[in-house]
Structure 1
Amino acid sequence: MNMHIVARVIFVFFCLFTGPLLAADSGNSSFLVLNYHDILEEEERVPPFDRIAVNKDHLADHFAWLKQNNYHVISVQDLLDCMKGDKVLPTKAVMLTFDDGYLSFYTRAMPLLKKYKYPATLAVVGSWLEQQNVPGVKPLMTPAQIREVAETGLVEIASHTYDLHHGIVANPQGNQQSAVTSRLYSNEYDEYEKDEDYRKRIFQEVDKSSERLFQILGKRPRVMVWPYGEFNAIALEATKLAGMRLTMGLNDGANTLADAYVMKRMMITDDVNAKQFGEIVKNQRVGQELRVAHVDMDYIYDDDEEQTEKNLALVVERIKASGANTVYLQAYSDPDGDGNADKLYFPNRHLPVRRDMFNHVTLQLRTRAGVRVYAWMPIMAYKADVPLKWYVKEWRGGEPQLSRHIYTRLSPFNPEARQFVGEIYEDLAKHCDFNGILFHDDGILSDYEDVSPLAMEFSRNVWGMPAEFDTIHASSELRMRWAQHKTELIGQFTDYLADKVRFYRPYIKTARNFYSLPLLKPYSEEWYAQSFPAFLKHYDYVAVEAMPFMEEAENPKQWLIELVEKTAQYPDGLDKMVFELQAVNWKTKQDIPMPVFIEQFELLKKHGAKHIGYYPDNVFNDQPKLAELKKFFPVSKKD
């Protein structure tokens, strides 16, 4: 699965609606899209500093650096011509974009664009053009000035929506989030905006923005620049029908021609100088090492909502101080600790809601602690009021019976069960804004599972396996082949779940918990239906349980070294593996002593581990000890 391309569902959607526009072969050509906002004079740079504003002199230095280093600044028309095959994308291609239509673009950026003859895209908010003094917004260009820069032939005027450049109330806690992707929450009626009302609102706003720019320019915009970089498949459909085939989000990284419908853009922040700018352009701010704290929402939840908020404040401050840059956050409730989802922490159509708080907690962690948040969700382990035939069956006593595994898993062979889980993931994405999905470690099938009638029929008809369990189990070759098919089936099922999420949250990353034994002893895939090569194919990251005490390793240090060395034997293995240490010894019910925890962390790093995390993070027991954790956990410059 190519994770450099925005969600497959988005790409497929556009292929269906746009027709044969792409060039037949774009080779390895790529292009960057850079994003600026307000341009300041030096004397205007006074506290509190605007992180997304750039000094005019630094902007001039950026343009000079691009020219000196042989970058080619291309226009929207150039890009369209390349997509049609009429032109070839030049090497070191860059697009320049400026958001919001500030007056400083006209007075400070435009003279530089003319000097260098650099084309640029200017994204304007339709409703802001109706009033020149928008509360909380810096001085804006007039419609006449917008028309003037467009007539130079250097500036493409793009829509920044009509009136979606703001937040709306998106949850019961009153948090405001993107008006493009959020469902409006009504405290008066205690309900979310209905699907049809949301869709109507987005389509009307996109159409209105196109009409307003037509009134100013005499032509409709060809590009949509999403406020805050937020969009989804519904918003993309609206722009397509409004004639805007190209759209831009906000994500670091390079684009290929296939990405042009939903381009990544790198926002230039912190008023960087030419040298810093050059590093951003060359390295694209990708490949950051992960430091992961794995957090139980059940620790944060309290029956008393006021106490819940106090708990949340403690967790946010702790995570911020720890140096973590990523949080795997439980989105389901599991009060008895058996690993199955009893309830959920977000609105959904299938399971009880313990409290609608996942979106709220995620927002606090992202904005106040500055971390990326992955929704930690089961693949199959749901305690639901559904027919027993939906569940995984094991071969026992000479016949298929309900599995006795601690995980009460819905069968991935059952289409109704797959749809059931898919709708849960869809509801998660519809109502919550997050950065990724962590698939729980419940995605296993033993060498005695799944033997439900549907599973055995699928195995026979699709995989060509024998119809009888005893025949399969009598042959080591057949057992392994059966396991490999099941490994891939679960991988494809999680792809389906990820695509359900990406319909609403296109840029999410995926990770999946991975047992250590299938890595250390690949033949054990037979007992788990898990393999590292399969996981590398399906997920952005693989989170291995690097927990020697849980595995009762005779030599914990050597065990961890072997885990890293085995990982390194696979292409991209270390780039995609997250080593999750245990902070608690569940067998002794004791916290892991910090000297041992630190020693294991340093051992992993020494032998080449890049991404390291731990589970669980317990704010109430201060485990791992924050005073120690924050000394070594952050990614240092030496890392």
Structure 2
Amino acid sequence: MGGAMRRWMIFVLMLAMANVGSAWAADAGTAAQAPDMTRVEVGNGELLVLSYHDIRDDVARKGDPDAYAVSTQNFAAHLDWLSGHGYRPVPLSEVIAASRGGKPLPPKAVLLTFDDGLRSIYTHVFPLLRAYRYPALMAVVTGWVDLPREQQVDYGPRMFTHDDFVTWDQLREMQASGLIEIASHSDNLHRGVTSNPQGNTMPAAITREWDSKTQRYETEAQYLARVRKDLTDSAARIKRELGVAPQSVVWPYAAYNSQTNAIADRLGMTVTFDLEGRHQKIGADLHGLARLLMFDNPTVNDLAYELRHDEELDGVRALQIDLDYVYDADPAQQARNLDKLIERVKQIGPSHIFLQAFADPDGNGSADALYFPNRHMPMRADLYNRVAWQLKTRAHVKVFAWLPVLGYELPDAALRERLAIKASNPKETFRLNPFEPDTRRIVADIYEDLAISGYTEGLLFHDDALLREDELRGQAPADPAARTAALIGFTQELARAAGKWRPKLITVRNLFAAPVLDPKSEAWFAQDLAAFNRAYDYTAVMAMPWMENSRDPQAWMDHLVAQVKKSPRGLARTIFELQTVDWRQRDKPIPAARLKAMAHRLQADGARHLAWYPDNFIDDQPSTRDAREIMSARGFPYLER
């Protein structure tokens, strides 16, 4: 999922800098200590990009009001450590040349970037870069450069004035040194705009603004025109003042999509940056280059730890949440439900929330309506974006949208009947035929509408994506593996549709346990663990022995783990999704002691990733205390006594 510092971690403090009411919260701080500073091997053609903001002499060791400020002492130590451990700082021009087939980057190439255009890049950073002869990229908000003296910018800890930002004369001096290249950080997109009827704010570069007066969202065309004008103004101002047009844009808050990147391309800014991951192979596409964000004044040991840390060892702890239990026709009760959810998630401390984005009030597994504006289904309430954003900014978790693949009960009865799979079992979940072009178009539109309407870092494909061997004969392939591949291909189309507006989405697919325990049952499900783990970032196997009528749930679970271990990268890619209630006994809760024992044994057997469903936040079941012990992603989740 990326390292401890990623694209979507610039939350509470940084949007506060842009003078907005709802801020973004940092995803995670830098790790505390590393035992040594072992070199990280980075081969030819790979690039490490480091992202800095303010460099000050008086930054607190930890907990500074500006979480993105780095002390001058630590910054100088970073430069010294990079030099002493064989890193080769390179200018952006060499990165571009390498991407076009020119000279490959040297081993352990590193690009230093500095965002926002703060005065410290001239007073503190530039002298050190000259001393080391290190090149760097400075990304400036052109609306803040030479800020008029009567204006101020709310930068979070305090109001910033003209003296806090770099001037054009200073930029010209740094550019003339040959060490500094200037990138656009937008002209006026370093701010939030209202993103939903409830008043949340999200980054201006990726959000269709909600107008409370007209009670409408910006149209897609209006939104793209706003971004285009801003980038045009920023690039023109840099060219006019410095004589050289920018080659890159560093999106504020690392918030971008394929459409805004296309706008930048047409303006000559063909390199863009992200905060996802640490380093990458350099190829022809330089969109969304990964950067490691310097956060919470990292020491040299912190930096070394981040560069040495194996991200695959990070475990997922996910709660699957029914948005149907947040929704209420009474806005006051709905607000209370949301507050209860947020508080529970904060107390438990999972890493992820799989959040239902569809309405299924009858509990039959298919969508009756959706919780976001869309083109094809009724909208029960415009709620998904608000809840997802509140979970991210208040509870500091990653939120994945949980959506059906085929299970949509379309409001047009004739169309629904024409596209429906005629299941042999009347109790089977209602599904649309994935081999019908209209199904593919409609569902892809729904996923695209989800992505443009609100925040999500990933997708959980619902367990409705199955195909029985006696269904769609003559349309579906007869071979079970081919049917499995066909459904995988469809979900990948859906991920691409959502990816138009949300880059680098993480994908998770629900998998029934039967195809894991008995590979022959792929014929009855069109599902296979190895195929899923090749196709998706994670597979969420439904590790639910009570649902499977097991007489010995623990033995059943042990067998499941053993089968997962046999699959390539099985434990690395598989999320074991536990059940918290016994649906056979009218949703009787599974005893907490049983859940704890099962979770601990899973981890002892090598399972890295755990989730559960349902999480009853309304009635606090399982209890928050027990949930914290089982599902917390914190290093020490237990309460003090």
> Matches of residues 422-433 of structure 1 in structure 2 within 5 Å?
422-433=444-455
* Mapped partners of 2:571, 2:286: distance in 1: 30
> Matches of residues 46-61 of structure 1 in structure 2 within 5 Å?
49-61=65-77
Give 1:23's aligned residue.
Answer: none
1:579-638 C-alpha deviation (Å, 9 max, x unpaired): 011111111120111000101110110101000011011112211111122234323559
Distance 1:297 1:182, change over 3 A: same
8 Å CA contact 2:350–2:634 kept in 1: the answer is no
One-letter amino acid of the counterpart of residue 525, structure 2: Y
TM-aligned CA deviation for residue 284 of structure 1? 7.1
Give 1:347's aligned residue.
Answer: 373
Give 2:210's aligned residue.
Answer: 185
Q: Mark the runs of 5 or more structure 2 residues left unpaired by the alignment.
A: 7-41
User: Paired residue for 1:408, among 405, 430, 437?
Assistant: 430
SS of residue matched to 2:408 = coil
Deviates more, 1:357-366 or 1:385-394: 385-394
* Mapped partners of 2:106, 2:311: distance in 1: 22
TM-aligned CA deviation for residue 65 of structure 1? 1.1
SS of residue matched to 1:329 = strand
TM-aligned CA deviation for residue 553 of structure 1? 1.4
1:227 maps to 2:252: yes
SS of residue matched to 1:32 = strand
SS of residue matched to 1:423 = helix
Distance 1:287 1:89, change over 3 A: farther
> Matches of residues 129-278 of structure 1 in structure 2 within 5 Å?
129=145, 131-132=147-148, 133-137=151-155, 138=160, 139-258=164-283, 260-278=286-304
One-letter amino acid of the counterpart of residue 489, structure 1: A
Give 2:95's aligned residue.
Answer: 79
TM-aligned CA deviation for residue 406 of structure 1? 3.0
TM-aligned CA deviation for residue 135 of structure 1? 2.1
Distance 1:553 1:44, change over 3 A: closer
TM-score of the two chains, using structure 1 as the length reference: 0.88
TM-aligned CA deviation for residue 234 of structure 1? 1.2
One-letter amino acid of the counterpart of residue 629, structure 1: A
8 Å CA contact 1:128–1:134 kept in 2: the answer is no
| Superposition CA RMSD, Å | 2.1
8 Å CA contact 1:393–1:449 kept in 2: the answer is yes
SS of residue matched to 1:393 = coil
> Matches of residues 141-540 of structure 1 in structure 2 within 5 Å?
141-258=166-283, 260-283=286-309, 287-384=313-410, 385=412, 386-394=415-423, 404-451=426-473, 456=474, 458-459=475-476, 481=479, 483-540=480-537
One-letter amino acid of the counterpart of residue 619, structure 1: F
One-letter amino acid of the counterpart of residue 391, structure 1: A
One-letter amino acid of the counterpart of residue 172, structure 2: R
* Mapped partners of 2:290, 2:585: distance in 1: 48
8 Å CA contact 1:253–1:285 kept in 2: the answer is no
Distance 1:124 1:164, change over 3 A: same
**Count of residue pairs brought into register by the alignment:** 585
8 Å CA contact 1:289–1:610 kept in 2: the answer is yes
What is the percentage of aligned positions where both structures have the same residue? 36
Deviates more, 1:79-88 or 1:220-229: 79-88
8 Å CA contact 2:519–2:528 kept in 1: the answer is yes
8 Å CA contact 1:550–1:585 kept in 2: the answer is yes
Q: After TM superposition, which residue ranges in structure 1, 4 or more long, deviate above 3 angstroms?
A: 26-29, 43-48, 284-287, 635-639
Distance 1:336 1:43, change over 3 A: closer
1:507-561 C-alpha deviation (Å, 9 max, x unpaired): 2101011000101100100101101121112111100111111111122112111
8 Å CA contact 2:184–2:234 kept in 1: the answer is yes
1:103 maps to 2:129: no
Give 1:17's aligned residue.
Answer: none
Q: Mark the runs of 5 or more structure 1 residues left unpaired by the alignment.
A: 7-25, 397-402, 464-478
SS of residue matched to 2:138 = strand
Give 2:15's aligned residue.
Answer: none
User: Paired residue for 1:554, among 551, 554, 557?
Assistant: 551
1:428-472 C-alpha deviation (Å, 9 max, x unpaired): 001111110000000011111123xxxx2x45xxx6xxxxxxxxx
* Mapped partners of 1:43, 1:128: distance in 2: 23
TM-aligned CA deviation for residue 387 of structure 1? 4.3
One-letter amino acid of the counterpart of residue 347, structure 1: P
8 Å CA contact 1:266–1:284 kept in 2: the answer is no
User: Paired residue for 1:90, among 98, 106, 118?
Assistant: 106
* Mapped partners of 2:371, 2:146: distance in 1: 41
> Matches of residues 625-636 of structure 1 in structure 2 within 5 Å?
625-635=623-633
8 Å CA contact 1:253–1:284 kept in 2: the answer is no
* Mapped partners of 1:186, 1:29: distance in 2: 46
8 Å CA contact 1:158–1:225 kept in 2: the answer is yes
